[in-house]
Amino acid sequence: MTELWITLVIVGLLTLGIRLSFILLLDKWKPPEIFQRGLKFVPLAVLSALVFPDVLIINKQFAIPPDLPRLAGAVTACIVAWRSKNIFLTIAVGMIVFYLLRFLMP
């Protein structure tokens, strides 16, 4: 049990160190322009990595066409995000479409 706590403390300190280093470094060091441009794509990449497996993988298999309510909600959310650039509207519309189709389909 103590090894678990030691591991958790070490991992927590490493995580804190990594995050704190970026905060402290950005005051003294300006990253190159190409690095700054690349950072703009990080949120999109992380969101895609979180959402796409849930939409496109069912029972540990890539499914096309996947579950229709999931796909319809995801596609609708993508269109709303593209047109409105509003994250709250995107989430709300995607969830409404998903739950409506889930409720209406047998």
User: What SS3 string covers 32-93?
Assistant: CHHHHHHHCCHHHHHHHHHHHHHHHEECCEECCCCCHHHHHHHHHHHHHHHHHCCHHHHHHH
Domain holding 26, by residue range, is: 1-30
> In this structure, are 45 and 92 located in the same domain?
yes
The residue type found at 87 is I
pLDDT in tens, 77-93: 999 999 998 989 999 99
**Is residue 5 predicted with pLDDT exceeding 90?**
yes
pLDDT value of position 58? 79
Say how far apart CA 36 and CA 51 lie, in whole Å.
25
> In this structure, are 14 and 59 located in the same domain?
no
> In this structure, are 23 and 72 located in the same domain?
no
> In this structure, are 18 and 48 located in the same domain?
no
> In this structure, are 70 and 98 located in the same domain?
yes
> In this structure, are 39 and 18 located in the same domain?
no
> In this structure, are 49 and 25 located in the same domain?
no
pLDDT value of position 25? 80
pLDDT value of position 66? 61
